[in-house]
């Protein structure tokens, strides 16, 4: 077979500046799912029909996928789009063409393979997938005569009786390669419309049947934001079901958001309102608590992420504890058993084993050793107004509360900084760094101050 994906539509009803095919569905663009299906079915070749506005974006998106992109210059209907693909296919190069729209993301491999077997076993000229919908709306209706497929009637052209039909066309076809050109010629020759519909080939085919799927969800397409939202919810449910079956606890599936590429190990617990995006990997026996957002990160085994923490493009070692209300910005590496606590922000830093920054701290462009304690209110002053500078802190260092570390600077192994210190130069091993202003106690100063204020009033 050769796969053909029709992706040249204008997406007018999405009310968007970009094609609906590039809108997000669980971390992937809509068009990804039909392309991935074609790939999984091991098509001999995949052709995607696109318009000139999206051609370069599609080529970039599917770089390395071995997809041929064909340009549809005139938007005169799905039959014209299919003809553009057909002009690049020899009738002897394959037995069947598997054709579907780029906006149909829920068709799975199992249903596709059953459909393929259905068409091949009957040696059909045209086969299509149909489904029964409670609310058929704008879908083309399957018109039968004596129970046999006769034709497809577009919803906007259906009669009062035809519009009551609830068996609908999916827009997913298998067309015998040797018949395709002849059928399209008939469509163009006999059409009374300004657009040429691929659905019309059904009327002119001699051997044709509809494969009625039991799960109508697989045919649903996207034309509006509402439909996108509905399909995202169904796709999300499939992703979560797969994780549940693999041994992951998801406390509230309806309020958990996990992207297509996310992987989670068994016995991990995912609390409500968690968002996991991109290519995130979570190990075994982890706890991801309420409201946390994790994007393109690796979370090792036995990690606890407490509520409302944000982790971006970072690598978290085994046994770490993060949050609540922590922010790990890109390029953070935490070694094993690190604690990053309340209101701590870490950016582009490596933090060694067993090190703790328990609260109210900013760590940026830093390299911190193992068994080190970072006191509350500590700041690495990494930006001088022109460039970012690096802080290096050794092993077994104790950073006192409210320390300011002005980079570039190094605090060596086993050193201590006194609370309130501003570190501006190298601190040797086993040294105490202190830069406080000497304390003075002026007796009875408060009494005199209050008296002056009261007299002034």
Average pLDDT of the residues in 145-174: 92
Average pLDDT of the chain, as a whole number: 95
pLDDT at 150 over 70: yes
**257: domain range?**
247-433
| Local structure of residue 413 (DSSP, 8 states) | T
Which one is predicted more confidently, 187 or 220?
220
For range 237-251, the mean pLDDT: 98
Looking at the fold, whether 152 and 251 belong to one and the same domain comes out as no
Statement: residue 193 has pLDDT above 70: no
Res 192: pLDDT? 64
The larger pLDDT score, comparing residue 38 to residue 160, is at: 38
Mean pLDDT, to the nearest integer, of 242-258?
Answer: 98
E strand segments, 326-426: 327-328, 333-334, 339-347, 350-351, 356-364, 366-368, 373-374, 379-381, 391-393, 398-399, 404-406, 409-411, 416-417, 422-423
* Residue range 184-199: mean pLDDT, rounded: 78
| pLDDT tens by residue, 7-36 | 998 888 889 989 999 999 999 999 999 999
Write the pLDDT tens digit of every residue in 77-100: 889 899 999 998 887 788 999 999
Q: End of a domain among 193, 225, 257?
A: 225
The alpha carbon dihedral of 68, 69, 73, 79 has a sign of positive
Q: How many domains does the chain have?
A: 2
| 85-139 confidence digits (pLDDT tens) | 999 888 778 899 999 999 999 999 999 999 999 999 999 999 999 999 998 888 9
Q: Which residue has the tokens 């051997």?
A: 207
Query: Based on the domain organization, do 271 and 218 belong to the same domain?
Result: no
348 in the Ramachandran plot: left (φ > 0), alpha (ψ -120 to 50) or beta? left
Specify the pLDDT at position 10. Answer: 80
Residues 186 and 284 grouped into a single domain: no
Query: In Å, how far are 52, 90, 128, 183, 356 from 178, measured between CA atoms?
Result: 29, 9, 17, 10, 70
The reply to whether 277 and 208 lie within a common domain is no
In 271-326, DSSP assigns E strands to: 275-277, 281-282, 287-288, 293-295, 298-299, 304-305, 310-312, 315-316, 321-322
- In the predicted model, what is the mean pLDDT of residues 353-380? 98
pLDDT higher at 193 or 22: 22
Q: Is 260 found in the same domain as 159?
A: no
Please tell me whether residues 302 and 341 are part of one structural domain: yes
Q: Which residues are catalytic?
A: 359
| 181 Cβ contact list (under 8 Å, min separation 6) | 86, 91
Residues 188 and 260 in one domain: no
Supply the pLDDT for residue 143: 94
pLDDT per residue over 42-51, tens digit each?
A: 999 999 999 9
- What is the band of 65 on the pLDDT scale with cuts at 50, 70, 90? very high
Task: Provide the pLDDT confidence category of residue 41 given band limits of 50, 70 and 90.
Answer: very high
Instruction: Tell me: do 215 and 269 sit in the same domain.
Output: no
* Average pLDDT estimate for 336-342: 98
């Amino acid at each position: 077979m050769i796969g053909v994906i029709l992706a040249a539509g204008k997406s007018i009803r999405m009310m968007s500046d970009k094609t609906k095919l590039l809108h997000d569905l669980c971390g992937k663009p809509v068009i990804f799912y039909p392309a991935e299906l074609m790939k999984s079915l091991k098509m001999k070749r995949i052709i995607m029909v696109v318009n000139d506005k999206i051609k370069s974006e599609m080529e970039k998106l599917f770089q390395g996928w071995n997809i041929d992109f064909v340009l549809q210059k005139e938007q005169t209907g799905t039959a014209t789009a299919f003809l553009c693909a057909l002009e690049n296919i020899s009738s002897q190069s394959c037995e069947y063409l598997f054709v579907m729209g780029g906006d149909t993301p829920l068709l799975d491999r199992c249903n596709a393979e059953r459909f393929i077997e259905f068409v091949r076993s009957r040696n059909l000229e045209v086969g299509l997938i149909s489904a029964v919908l409670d609310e058929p709306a704008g879908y083309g209706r399957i018109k039968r005569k004596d129970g046999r497929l006769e034709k497809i009637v577009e919803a906007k052209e259906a009669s009062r009786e035809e519009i009551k039909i609830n068996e609908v066309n999916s827009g997913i076809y298998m067309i015998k390669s040797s018949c395709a050109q002849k059928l399209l010629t008939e469509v163009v020759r006999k059409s009374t419309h300004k657009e040429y519909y691929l659905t019309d080939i059904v009327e002119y085919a001699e051997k044709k049947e509809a494969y009625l799927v039991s799960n109508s969800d697989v045919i649903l397409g996207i034309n509006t934001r509402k439909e996108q939202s509905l399909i995202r919810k169904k796709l999300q449910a499939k992703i979560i079901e797969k994780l549940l079956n693999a041994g992951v606890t998801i406390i509230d599936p309806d309020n958990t958001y996990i992207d297509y590429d996310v992987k989670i190990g068994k016995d991990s617990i995912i609390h409500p309102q968690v968002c996991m995006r991109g290519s995130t990997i979570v190990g075994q026996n982890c706890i991801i608590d309420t409201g946390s957002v994790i994007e393109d990160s690796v979370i090792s085994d036995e990690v606890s992420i407490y509520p409302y923490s944000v982790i971006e493009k970072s690598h978290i070692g085994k046994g770490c504890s993060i949050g609540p209300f922590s922010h790990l910005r890109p390029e953070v590496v935490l070694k094993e058993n690190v604690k990053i606590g309340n209101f701590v922000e870490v950016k582009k830093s490596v933090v060694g084993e067993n090190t703790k920054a328990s609260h109210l701290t900013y760590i940026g462009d830093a390299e911190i050793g193992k068994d080190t304690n970072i006191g509350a209110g500590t700041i690495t002053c990494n930006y001088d107004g022109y460039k970012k500078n690096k802080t290096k802190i050794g092993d077994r260092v104790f950073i006192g509360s409210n320390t300011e570390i002005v980079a570039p600077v190094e605090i060596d192994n086993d050193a201590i900084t006194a609370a309130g210190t501003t570190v501006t130069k190298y601190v040797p091993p086993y040294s105490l760094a202190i830069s406080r202003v000497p304390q003075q106690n002026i007796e009875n100063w408060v009494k005199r101050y209050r008296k002056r204020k009261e007299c002034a009033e």
